[in-house]
Amino acid sequence: MYHVFYFDGNEEEILWTIQTSNSIIKQNRKHVKIYKNKVTDLQSKYIALHVGLFWAIGIFNIKKGDHVKIILDEQNMFEHFTTNNKRKDPIVEKRKQHINQIIIQRKLDISYENNCRQKNKNSK
């Protein structure tokens, strides 16, 4: 199955939208105490991507071997996911590690779209 994954986050909450050929699922969550008002918007976006992918697999929306197009609205996120360059931010690096682990374990076919010039469907 083919999915398009949008996500966003700020210092208080994370949100994501998963679009397939016949459905659109939107979710949002308040940050847990250890992150609330302690993370940057960029860090929050990495958390949103990680949590959203994990959630979608958990409810069987995204299944093993599915194609997921991840829409990135930050140029540095796009570069981070499409290269092997490391970031100095430990929260960002840990989230990317977990996201990559999910991708490998579920044998997901991932593509990234650089959508920096357009507003993310989740942006407020």
* Residue-level pLDDT at 116: 72
Q: Where are the alpha helices (DSSP H) in 30-121?
A: 41-58, 75-82, 90-105
Mean pLDDT per 10-residue segment, the chain (124 residues) = 96 96 95 94 97 95 96 94 92 96 97 76 52
**First-residue to last-residue Cα distance in the chain:** 28
Burial class (CB in 10 A: 0-12, 13-18, 19+), 22: exposed
The model's pTM is: 0.91
| Rounded Cα gap, residues 82 and 73, in angstroms | 14
Distances (CA, A) of 7 to 40, 68, 88: 15, 13, 22
| Rounded Cα gap, residues 62 and 68, in angstroms | 8
The CATH number assigned to the domain with range 2-114 reads 3.30.420.10
